[in-house]
Structure 1
Amino acid sequence: MFKGFTRFLQSPSEHIKTLFEPQGNPPGPLVPQVIPREEHPVSRQHFSEAALKVLYRLHKAGFDAYLVGGCIRDALLGKMPKDFDVATNATPEEVRDLFRNSRLIGRRFRIVHVRFGREVIEVTTFRGKPSDEHGGHLAQQSDAGLLLRDNVWGSIEEDAIRRDFTINALYYSIADFSIHDFAGGVRDIESRTLRLIGEPETRYREDPVRMLRAIRFAAKLDFTLDPATEAPLADCAPLLLQIPPARLFDEVLKLFMAGHGLATFRLLSEYGLFAMLFPEAEEAMVDLPWFEGMIELALENTDKRIAEERPVTPAFLLAAFLWAPVLQRQAIFEQEGMPAIPALQAAAQQVISRQLQHTSIPKRFGMPMREIWELQQRLPQLRGKRAFQTREHPRFRAAYDLLLLREQAGELEPGLGDWWTAFQKGDEHEQRRLLQKAGGDPASQGQGRRKRRRKRKPRPSQGD
């Protein structure tokens, strides 16, 4: 689809080569390289109708209007963009007045969402410098450099230098269909390098979530981190503890539910960032050698399902991430004389309570997680009608998947998973044979002949 741009990257004009020679991160206002329409492959055909409506209405009203960031980056990489962000010199209030189907959101960063049915176009006003020439703070920052509120408007050049990565400082102009590259983003796309704009440690202190974004983009795009961008990650990792748990939960979904979870996990672990998100899981991986393998298997399973466009749920992945901590705490409670089920419930409560200090977990995911854990106690119980009752549980398939991961990782000896696999696939005769083999046939225990059941279609995995 983008063969023309491949040739453009392989044989760029001399003026582009000269401008994009690596010279470090730009320290001041950026001068754009303007790539005319005939020299790049991005066209309006790659943009949604909603995005074009926003761009043209702003342009006709006399405002500057650009598509910016990921949609341009993805188009240049040969991917079809899905999300569209617009940058403009119109203030949020002016944007809202132009679009009746819009609303202002955010306090820390005020932006406008323009809704067209299920599609939302995010419109941001060009951001200015966080401080004036005399060092006075126009934006609100903490003593550690964290931006607390940033509603300072500026020029497109100032907006570009405030962007996080060079590959996201690419602006597509609706006026002449050119691409404005302010920080050598095209060069870095060519070399598949992820590079922060500005001094990396300062940028991480302004917003520690940029560290997670660096990992997410590196994993998603298969890019290499620029050495200067990479260097502060391990030392700056504890800065994530300043971020509200609700915001970090949103980032966790982006990190692990986008189809590149396994590569993301390995990078997060390498730089000490996973420990900031899931501290008990990190500690359990040190004590239980099988647990890291189980997490990787869970992520590999999720990535595969996403690639196949099959349903996934964060509840399953979170249950896998926190399973070993629950198991460890349950063992402590049982040593103190508590029965197994109450011990598991108490352990689950403690693990979730600690996790909520780092990433929030909405109830719609917290309750299924608990049920998946509790079913791990019921899956070995095959006597009487228990097997049929367990199979009918709404979380059975997710619990079954977790059981298989536990066996694959080496926590449990193989066998029970195979039994449940056969039980689900078998007809009534095969199910009775399996129950007799396990010593749990209802008829053999004087409970009478079971009512004939219609063979059920298996539910989708991961609890959906």
Structure 2
Amino acid sequence: GDPKQRFEEDPVRMLRTLRFAAKLNFDIDPQILKIFDVDMTQLLRDVSPHRLYDESQKLFTMGHLARVLPMLIEFDIWKQLFADIKPDISKFIERAAKNTDQRIQIGKTINPAFFYAVLLWKPFLERCDFYLAKGIVPAEARAQAGLDVLKRQATRTVIPRFAETFIREVWEMQVRLLNPKPQQIEALASHARFRAGFDFLLLREKSGDDSTQGMGQWWDHYQSLSSDEKETAISQYNRQRAKTRRKQNIEANESKDTTAEIEPLVNVPEARSRRARREQTRSKDHVARSPESSTANLNTDHPIMKRKRVQRDLSQVVFGPTQ
């Protein structure tokens, strides 16, 4: 039939066309390519976000995700599926797509929500910076940023609640894996989301993200150790962590010293009024600290000077024990 009429009847057929072309590696008919314009792809906005989520899962799990992503950008479909994600395939996204395809080809299971966590990672960081700039504490900034990004993405594809929870937990694990407390490393390695968080961290590190500080390799090496070797690794990590903290404290103190007030090179005479106030304050402090001056200021009319000593009859006073 007429391709234009078929796409207008069901815009999701455009996604199927690209999916089959990427999976079977065939060229799309030129007559169909002419129809893939901005006006035609805009029809995807009329499709239910729930249905578009299901279609996006088919793209992620077909085993040729790395091949179909550039096609989504080329045919202006990317913007119809992803709200705040720029149409640019970064090294992080590309490596995640290739790893997803490799897992499918060797028969391993995948979680489609993991790739959504990869796609939305950059918008999540940008939103975190927005809240941190307002003075919100990091934990609350991350929580609110996650809600905002997922809510915004729901205008294109409605991610189920369980998948949203998974995505936010993977993001939160990044902070815990980057700077773990030594006494919590063993418990963290047995966390339900450790594997997903670790894979995410290692992908970031292999994609050139310097902010991981090499912790991806550290966790990768840690998992291959025996129980005794793990205790040794934790002790070494604890010493290195303490050394890094001392270095940071020294640098912080040095920065405070450099920002201290510098004395002027030219001696400017102090104002007469300020000098007089300082001398007056100094004399008052000296008087207040001197006990002699405090008693000298007491005149005869002072109540304490008017007190009369009562004469007592010492014959009535018993000194010592009596028999």
Q: Give 1:396 deviation, angstroms.
A: 0.7
2:61 maps to 257
Give the structure 2 partner of residue 322 of structure 1: 120
Q: CA deviation at 1:331?
A: 0.9
| Equivalent residue, structure 2, for 1:426 | 225
Q: Quick check: 1:237 aligned with 2:41?
A: yes
Q: Corresponding residue for 2:90? A: 292
Q: Which has the higher contact order (CA 8 A, sep 6+)?
A: 2
Does the aligned pair in 2 maintain the 1:326–1:347 contact within 8 Å?
A: yes
1:416 aligns with 2:219: no
For residue 335 of structure 1, report the CA deviation from its aligned partner.
1.1
Q: Where does the alignment leave 5 or more consecutive residues of structure 1 unmatched?
A: 1-196, 286-290, 443-464
User: How far 1:366 sits from its partner (Å)?
Assistant: 1.3
Assess if the C-alpha contact under 8 Å between 2:7 and 2:13 holds in 1: yes
1:436 matched residue in structure 2 = 235
CA distance in 2, matches of 1:349, 1:280: 13
- Structure number with the higher strand fraction is 1
Q: In structure 2, the residue corresponding to 1:233 is in which secondary structure? A: coil
TM-score, scaled to structure 2: 0.70
Q: 1:330 to 1:440 in 2, by over 3 A?
A: farther
Matches for 1:61-210 after TM superposition, within 5 Å: 197-198=1-2, 200-210=3-13
Specify the code of the residue in structure 1 equivalent to 2:223.
Q
| 1:269 and 2:73 aligned | yes
Deviation at 1:349, TM superposition (A): 0.1
Structure-1 separation of matches of 2:64 and 2:127: 31
Residues in 2 aligned to 1:393 and 1:440: alpha-carbon distance in whole angstroms:
24
8 Å CA contact retained: 1:404, 1:417: yes
Does residue 332 (structure 1) correspond to residue 130 (structure 2)? The answer is: yes
Match of 2:23 in 1: 220
> Could you say which structure has the higher helix fraction?
2
Distance in 1 of aligned mates of 2:101 and 2:182: 37
Residues 372-397 of structure 1 show CA distances to partners (whole Å, capped at 9, x for unaligned) of 01001100123232222221211111
User: Helix, strand or coil: the match of 1:224?
Assistant: coil
Q: For 1:410 and 1:358, locate their aligned partners in 2 and report how far apart those are by CA, in whole Å.
A: 30
Report what 1:395 is aligned to: 193
Q: Distance in 2 between matches of 1:382 and 1:431?
A: 14
Q: Measure the CA separation in 1 of the matches of 2:32 and 2:178.
A: 49
Contact kept, 8 Å, 1:329 with 1:347, in 2: the verdict is: yes
SS at match of 2:76: coil
**TM-score, normalised relative to structure 1:** 0.49
Q: Which has the larger radius of gyration?
A: 2
**CA deviation profile, 1:351-371 (whole Å, cap 9, x unmatched):** 010111111111221111110
**Percentage of matched positions with identical amino acids:** 36
2:102 equivalent in structure 1: 304
- Runs of 4+ with deviation above 4 angstroms: none
- 2:174 matches 1:381: no
**Equivalences for 1:4-43 in 2 at 5 Å?**
none
Relative distance call for 1:363 and 1:440 in structure 2 (3 A) is: farther
Report the equivalent of 1:43: none
One-letter code aligned to 1:239: L
Count of residue pairs the alignment pairs up: 239
Q: Is the 8 A contact 1:423 1:434 kept in 2?
A: yes
8 Å CA contact 1:234–1:273 kept in 2: the answer is: no
CA RMSD of aligned residues (A): 1.8
Take 1:440 and 1:275, find their aligned partners in 2: how far apart are those partners? 48
Give unpaired runs (5+ residues) of structure 2: 242-323
| Displacement after TM superposition at 1:441 (Å) | 9.6
Q: 1:311 and 1:260, CA in 2 relative to 1: closer, same or farther beyond 3 A?
A: same
Report the alpha carbon displacement of residue 440 of structure 1 after superposing the two structures with TM.
6.3
Aligned-pair distance for 1:212? 0.4
